């Protein structure tokens, strides 16, 4: 179990899961929707199954590439800890469990489940042919708030779509930062990324632009909340401030010539930003 949790980097679920919970509770506030612990548990399971399938498939598909990269050579499949066949079976099992769970939620989520899997699994192919791979990853995680909103019984409303756009820009921006450390290797292997296309300085600038737009959308979402629901007070603004502040902070940790703190910028800062922001907005809904 420990090896499989390491294979899928289970701790990274913290990036999208808080936004899924945000989408779920936003829908639950609607007058005609009753909160359901059953649905809540099913949404959590969907997040776990979909992400586990996506991450394990990425490791399976990239096993030969990972074996050649000194930074990734010790991952479970190239290191021989988990066999490729076992990893693929793990992907299939989690994909089927994801689809089965959506069937227990509602017909719409079940009908959309293949589309969601196509995006989150298809991302693993994209760095082989497009520089836009970071945005496909962002799109995969951006499904979390709108998917959870639909699961709770909401419709295609503007606010959950706005939160999905925030996740798309946020994830795409920090994935560009993470890709900075593999520029030379990716170029040698003819793999695609924004840093290999633009170079490190301009890639960092693009990441900054994406996060700036993301921050503006966070403020727009806060304004929309207060206009549509006067009960919202100040906690969501505190969360917005913390999220934007951490976006700014992570860009002070990395420069084109200094990538030594990239793990702090990628893992810690973004994990804290997601949890704090979503937690404070959800608390504002009920307190």
Mean pLDDT of 207-229: 92
What range defines the domain where residue 47 resides? 2-180+190-286
Residue 56 lies in a domain: yes
Residue 31 has a pLDDT of 60
pLDDT digits (tens, 9 = 90+) for 173-183: 999 999 999 99
DSSP string across 90-141: HHHHHHHHHHHHHHHH-HHHHHHHHHHHHHHHHHHHHTTT-TTHHHHHHHHH
Residue 75 lies in a domain: yes
State the DSSP code for 14.
G
Residue 134 lies in a domain: yes
- The percent of residues in the chain predicted with pLDDT above 90, rounded, is 74
Lowest mean per-residue pLDDT among 77-81, 97-101, 197-201, 225-229: 225-229
Residue 252 lies in a domain: yes
Residue 53 lies in a domain: yes
Q: What is the pTM of this model?
A: 0.94
pLDDT digits (tens, 9 = 90+) for 11-52: 677 788 999 999 999 998 876 788 889 999 999 999 999 999
Residue 218 lies in a domain: yes
Alpha carbon distance 222, 97 (integer Å): 35
Give me the CATH number covering residue 243.
Answer: 1.10.357.140
Residue 2 has a pLDDT of 80
Specify the number of domains making up the chain: 1
Confidence of residue 103 (pLDDT cuts 50, 70, 90): very high
Alpha carbon distance 174, 193 (integer Å): 13
Residue 185 lies in a domain: no
Mean pLDDT of 240-256: 94
Q: Is the pLDDT of residue 10 over 70?
A: no
Q: How buried is residue 210: exposed, middle or buried, by Cβ count under 10 Å (0-12/13-18/19+)?
A: buried
Residue 80 has a pLDDT of 92
Residue 138 lies in a domain: yes
Q: How buried is residue 256: exposed, middle or buried, by Cβ count under 10 Å (0-12/13-18/19+)?
A: middle
Q: What backbone phi and psi angles, to 5 degrees, belong to 34?
A: -100, 135
């Amino acid at each position: 179990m420990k090896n499989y949790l390491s294979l899928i980097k289970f701790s990274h679920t913290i990036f999208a899961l808080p936004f899924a919970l945000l989408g779920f509770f936003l829908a639950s506030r609607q007058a005609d929707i009753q909160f359901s612990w059953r649905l809540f548990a099913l949404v959590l399971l969907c997040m776990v199954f979909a992400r586990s399938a996506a991450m394990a498939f990425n490791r399976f598909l990239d096993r030969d590439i990972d074996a050649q990269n000194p930074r990734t050579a010790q991952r479970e499949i190239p290191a021989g800890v988990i066999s490729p066949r076992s990893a693929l079976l793990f992907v299939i099992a989690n994909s089927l469990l994801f689809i089965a769970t959506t069937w227990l939620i509602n017909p719409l989520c079940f009908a959309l489940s293949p589309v969601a899997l196509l995006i989150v699994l298809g991302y693993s192919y994209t760095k082989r042919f497009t520089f836009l791979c970071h945005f496909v990853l962002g799109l995969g995680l951006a499904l979390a708030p709108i998917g959870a909103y639909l699961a709770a019984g909401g419709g295609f409303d503007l606010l959950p779509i706005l939160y999905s756009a925030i996740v798309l820009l946020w994830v795409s921006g920090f994935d560009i930062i993470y890709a900075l450390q593999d520029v030379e290797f990716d170029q040698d292997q003819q793999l695609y990324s924004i840093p290999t296309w633009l170079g490190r300085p301009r890639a960092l600038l693009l990441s900054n632009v994406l996060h700036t737009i993301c921050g503006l959308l966070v403020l727009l979402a806060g304004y929309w909340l207060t206009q549509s629901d006067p009960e919202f007070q100040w906690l969501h603004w505190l969360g917005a401030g913390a999220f934007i502040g951490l976006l700014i902070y992570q860009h002070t940790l990395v420069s084109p010539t200094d990538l030594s703190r990239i793990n702090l910028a990628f893992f810690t800062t973004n994990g804290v930003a997601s949890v704090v922001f979503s937690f404070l907005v959800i608390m504002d809904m009920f307190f």
